[in-house]
Amino acid sequence: MITSFTNSLFHAVIEVCSALSLRANHECGPPSPQKSSVSSLTDDLWARPGPSGKPNSLSTFWSTIDADTLTIGQSLTDGESLVSSGGSFRLGFFRPENSSSRYLGIWYGARVPTQTIVWVANRGAPISDTRGFLNLTREGILALSDGGRNNNLAVWSSNVTRRPGNNPVVAQLLESGNLVVREAAEENPDNFLWQSFDYLTNTLLPGMKLGRNLTSGLNRKMRSWRSGEDPAEGDFSVLIETEGYPQLLVRRGAAIQFRAGSWNGLRFTGVPALNPSPTFSFEYRYEEGREVFFRFGVPNNTVVSRYAISPAGLLQLLTWSSRTGVWIVIATGQGDRCENYGLCGTYANCYTYRAPACQCLTGFSPRNPGDWGRSDWEEGCVRRTPLACNSSDGFIMHSRVKLPNTAVTRWNRTIGLAECRMLCLGNCSCTGYSSLDISNGESGCLMWFDDLIDIRELADGGQDLYVRMAGSEIREVVPEQGRPNRRRKTIIVIASVISSSMALLVILGILLYARKRKLKQKETLKTINTPLPRIKSQKERNEELDLPTFDLSTIVEATNDFAIGNKLGEGGFGPVYMGKLSEGQEIAVKRLSKSSGQGLNEFKNEVILFSKLQHRNLVRLLGCCINDDEKMLIYEYMPNKSLDFFIFNETQRKLLNWQRRTTIIDGIARGLLYLHQDSRLRIIHRDLKASNILLDKELRPKISDFGLARTFGGDQTEGETNKVVGTFGYMSPEYAVDGLFSVKSDVFSFGVLVLEIMSGRRNRGFYHADHDLNLVGHAWTLWNEGAALGLIDDSLNESCNQSEVLRCIHVALLCVQQRPEDRPNMSAAVLMLGSENPLPQPKLPGFYLRRNPPEADSSSSKNINDSCSVNQVSMTVMEPR
């Protein structure tokens, strides 16, 4: 409060001062060319002493009328900045965190208060002090000088794409974040001599093209920073490769890291999630010989968004959350193992949720069966039967896949699949074909002339790929042309085969179903033993071997031999003790129920992987302790217990004012988003509830027990075979009733949790004299009566902000909708919470009636049993995007 007041006071002072200095200059002759048209970066006044010889003083503040342009002869010095006309972007000098070097760059204006650099001029040529300045020459060249002895030697300069005429030129920072050089008198607003949008750094802004001008050869590609502190060019680039049919790649040096793939008329073939939405629009154009580009837009500027390639090579779509003041990752490339380029080698299909991940295509077998067995799939698969190279060859269709690398392809937009097939058959080196464009049905022809690599299964949004095979590998009867009799026979044969196999299928289905029910218990164990995603490089492998382990004696000492006084509680997977290591660090020790049905190696692997999950809203796993059949997990200790202790307690919840509660809701949402989308593992929590949210010293939330569902999903302790993961009151209908779970079941639990946080009431055990509804049903009723504010607990009334409260309830109701497909995913939920965009109306929620399930207290992690028709868990925890 006080700070912002001081700030506005300061700005008022600045305005008065600049007005004064403006007048002063009118009175005392023309302004010195050095200073006009440039507004100073006020924050920098506080941050830094002025450059040597040019002390910062208020007299450096100038008219802000033309503050977005620099004219010939003017200089932009360190400490000054150009501001685009609407204030969205700034150009000036900055110093990266932890670095002493200075760079000229562009960052966001007022909408993003945390300085976020979107473009850097002198990436590889840092300036060591604050004497640097930028000027514009008569030829339209922007020259950056370090102000040192080589005053005339530019450390960086722009390259004119076109010589100007005799007209004066100006440099201007546009609202889009584009720094352009143009003739001052130029009528066409898009006719630039030079623009920064042609020279991307690590960021793709809305409206910026990623791609190539195929006439001039200009390649607009992103290039990562070397590190968070060094904007020099790093290893990773994002570009549209134009060798073969154009495709979007992330490269590390020359090697392909991730292949988003070719554009199929709707999206890049490997990125099914790239769908236009009210928030984002996507554009792709490919005109042979002229240009190819991709760009995205944010219609109506509802959010501040950008794509960025991180120093570690992750391509991410980020959105600024003004409410929480951080960048939120909305989508990440390379999120699952099948997004590692070539993981499965040639002629193999990659499955995210199966073990093993890679399977040879039909008719192919591993090139090196030994390696393949050891989960080293890189060498891929080879044909069992060589191609005959005559008309006896045929094709096998693989549906719903990501199309392979298109580096060696030919294509024709005008012909259809039938002709495509004939063309491919007619050339011995053609290995497969598919449609080129699926935006209006299917059209065009794309043919491969190389081994097929980087194919993956995509349940949503995959395409059909036809792979050339020797005739003998194709079991189907291929009807021959020109012999009607035979053809008819074939059809009859096929028809009867089909009908009898249908009958067979039905019978089989019934048998399988019955069997499946019996096998459920066994399947649970199988799921647990699913191998982990393969870790690629040897370096990574070595890293992984550093299993953070603790000696049993250390733990015994730390917990006073598991003294009852140290016991914090009983979690779903065993008791939890508080402990203190000899160095003074406090820890929480979770002693796992004896036999989990899981091998020691798998357990270790899980622990290593989970210990790598790091997010400020996840409880940190420090390591484990393994001794005979004793397995323990060691976590950081959270002094403030769990959320249920606060919100369901009359006095404690007074400590949580509205501000704190929104921080908690946002934190939970972000932690969950990280689990679902951002971490390498794609984890579904499955047991999200108030007692699994721990609070740190500052009452910030940390999700606990994530991934345990995966490790200990079955928890088959003898005599207690009916434990499943999940807690009544938080479980979505499809999970509780059909045992189906997905990220959307976590979203449901999140919605329930939000309602509980706002109301201070438990969903289960909720009682209201007027009706038979639980908290979800109660909230839904109030919402429809326009009385949603009646939901919040009394202790909030003073501190709350009504519109924020309504928005939270609205989002919660969207999360608990009956149908999983209606619920938002976590990235959408985070966006909804963080912005002011209009939201859709919620539909009927799931499980809104109070029911009387078998007695179990929802606060402790009691689990449900078979009698309530909840399946034994038989699915994996990872989930397709």
Ligand X SMILES: *[C@@H]1O[C@H](CO)[C@@H](O)[C@H](O)[C@H]1NC(C)=O
Half-sphere exposure of 125 (CA within 13 A, CB side): 13
Task: Name which of residues 57 to 116 contact ligand X (CB under 6 A).
Answer: 73, 75, 97-98
Residue among 331 and 430 whose Cβ is closer to ligand X: 430
State the nearest-atom distance from the C-beta of 99 to ligand X, in Å: 8
Q: What is the sign of the dihedral through the CA atoms of 165, 166, 170 and 174?
A: negative
**Contacting ligand X (CB under 6 A), which of 9, 13, 47, 388?**
388
Q: How far apart are CA 722 and CA 227, in angstroms?
A: 50
Task: Decide if residue 278 touches ligand X (CB under 6 A).
Answer: yes
DSSP string, 722-736: T--S--TTT--HHHH
Take residue 58 and report the two structure tokens written for it.
């208020």
Residue from 3, 152, 188, 481 that binds ligand X (CB under 6 A)?
Answer: 152
Helical residues (DSSP H) of 623-687, grouped into ranges: 643-647, 658-673
392 near ligand X (CB under 6 A): yes
Query: How far, in Å, CA of 369 to CA of 374, rounded?
Result: 9
291 near ligand X (CB under 6 A): yes
Q: Which stretch binds ligand X (CB under 6 A): 80-88, 343-351, 406-414, 651-659?
A: 406-414
Least distance from C-beta 158 to ligand X, angstroms?
8
Q: Is 299 in the site for ligand X (CB under 6 A)?
A: yes
**Stretch near ligand X under the rule CB under 6 A, chosen from 210-218, 506-514, 582-590, 816-824:** 210-218
Token pair for 700: 């910030």
C-alpha gyration radius of the chain: 31
Nearer to ligand X, 74 or 727 (CB): 74
What angle, rounded to 10 degrees, do the helices at 743-759 and 826-834 form? 30
- Give the CB-nearest residue to ligand X: 228
By the 10 Å C-beta count (0-12 exposed, 13-18 middle, 19+ buried), 678 is classed as buried
The interface mask with ligand X, positions 154-173, x = CB under 6 A, is x----x-x------------
Output 216 or 500, the one with its CB closest to ligand X. Answer: 216
- Of residues 449 through 468, those in contact with ligand X by CB under 6 A are 449
Provide the CB-side half-sphere exposure for 755 (13 A, CA): 32
The rounded distance, in Å, linking the Cα atoms of 447 and 460 is 23
> Of 135, 262, 349, 463, which one interacts with ligand X (CB under 6 A)?
135
Report the site for ligand X in 335-374 (rule: CB under 6 A).
none
Report the alpha-carbon distance of residue 771 to residue 750 in Å, rounded. 24
Instruction: Please say which residue, 230 or 644, places its beta carbon nearer to ligand X.
Output: 230
- Is the Cβ of residue 142 or residue 693 nearer to ligand X in the bound state? 142
Nearest approach in angstroms of CB 392 to ligand X is 4
Q: What angle do CA 877, 764, 639 make, to 5 degrees?
A: 70
Considering only the stretches 15-23, 37-45, 372-380, 386-394, report the one whose residues sit in contact with ligand X under the rule CB under 6 A: 386-394
Tell me if 220 sits within 8 A of 209, measured CB to CB: yes
CB of 695 to ligand X, least distance (A): 24
Nearest to 160 by CA among 191, 193, 138: 193
> Closest approach of Cβ 665 to ligand X, in Å?
25
Output the CA torsion 232→238→244→247 (10° steps). -170
From the CB of 711, what's the least distance to ligand X, in Å? 30
Among 66, 78, 393, 687, the active-site one is 687
Answer for the pair 436, 411: CB distance below 8 angstroms, yes or no. Answer: yes
The distance of closest approach from Cβ of residue 190 to ligand X in the complex, given in angstroms and rounded to an integer, is 10
Of 76-84, 373-381, 407-415, 674-682, which part binds ligand X (CB under 6 A)? 407-415
Active site (annotated) includes residue 687: yes
- Tell me if 290 contacts ligand X by CB under 6 A: yes
As a whole number of angstroms, the distance between CA 90 and CA 173 comes to 8
How many residues belong to the site for ligand X (CB under 6 A)? Answer: 32
Q: How far is the CB of 161 from ligand X (least distance, A)?
A: 6
Please state the length of the chain: 881
Q: Based on CB atoms, which residue is closest to ligand X, 316 or 642?
A: 316
**Binding to ligand X by residue 414, rule CB under 6 A?**
yes
The verdict on 322 binding ligand X (CB under 6 A) reads no
x/- site string to ligand X, residues 432 to 451, per CB under 6 A?
-----------------x--
Among candidates 842, 838, 837, 834, which has minimal Cα distance to 814?
842
Q: Give the nearest distance from C-beta 104 to ligand X in angstroms.
A: 13
Map residues 546-585 to x or -, x wherever contact with ligand X holds by CB under 6 A: ----------------------------------------
- In the β-sheet with 230-241, what is the strand arrangement from edge to edge? 222-227, 230-241, 247-252, 255-262
Note every long-range contact of 84-89, with CB atoms under 8 Å and residues 24 or more positions apart, other chains counting: 84/109, 84/173, 84/174, 84/175, 84/176, 84/177, 85/174, 85/175, 86/175, 88/175, 88/176, 88/177, 89/118, 89/173, 89/174, 89/175, 89/176, 89/177
At closest approach, how far in Å is the CB of 121 from ligand X?
12
> What H or E segment, with its residue span, contains residue 412?
strand 409-412
Question: Do 41 and 81 contact (CB within 8 A), yes or no?
Answer: yes
Of 255 and 388, the one with the shorter C-beta distance to ligand X is 388
Q: Given candidates 3, 4, 166, 215, which one binds ligand X under the rule CB under 6 A?
A: 215
Q: Binding of ligand X at residue 472 (CB under 6 A)?
A: no
Rounded to the nearest whole angstrom, what is the least distance from the CB of residue 636 to ligand X in the complex? 17
Using CB under 6 A as the binding rule, whether residue 190 contacts ligand X is answered as no
> Contacting ligand X (CB under 6 A), which of 55, 228, 373, 509?
228
Which one of 200-208, 409-417, 681-689, 856-864 is the stretch in contact with ligand X (CB under 6 A)? 409-417
- What SS3 state is found at 690? helix
Sole binder of ligand X in the list 410, 620, 768, 843 (CB under 6 A)? 410
Cβ neighbors of 106 (< 8 A, separation 6 or more) are: 89, 90, 91, 117, 118, 119, 173, 177, 179, 196
In 3D space, the residue among 770, 773, 775 whose CA is nearest the CA of residue 757 turns out to be 775
Nearest distance from C-beta of residue 389 to ligand X, angstroms? 7
The stretch among 248-256, 410-418, 554-562, 662-670 that binds ligand X (CB under 6 A) is 410-418
Alpha helices in 658-742 (DSSP H): 658-673, 708-711, 733-738
Minimal distance, residue 21 CB to ligand X, in Å: 21
Cβ closer to ligand X: 143 or 222?
143
Strand extents, DSSP E, 263-298: 281-287, 291-297
- Angle, helices 743-759/775-784, rounded to nearest 10 degrees: 80
Choose among 214, 209, 188, 184: nearest CA to 198.
Answer: 209
Q: Is 481 a binder of ligand X (CB under 6 A)? A: no
Which one, 192 or 706, has the nearer CB to ligand X?
A: 192
Answer yes or no: are the C-beta atoms of 198 and 191 closer than 8 Å. no
CA–CA gap between residue 334 and residue 341 (Å, rounded): 9
Residues 24-53 touching ligand X, rule: CB under 6 A, are none
C-beta closer to ligand X: residue 117 or 873: 117
Nearer to ligand X, 249 or 436 (CB): 436
Among 415, 519, 581, 782, binds ligand X (CB under 6 A): 415
C-beta of 130 vs 795, nearer to ligand X:
130
- Nearest residue (CB) to ligand X, 162 versus 517: 162
Residues that bind ligand X (CB under 6 A): 73, 75, 97-98, 135, 143, 145, 152, 154, 159, 161, 213, 215-216, 228-229, 278, 290-291, 299-300, 388, 390-392, 410, 412, 414-415, 427, 429, 449
Residues that are catalytic: 687
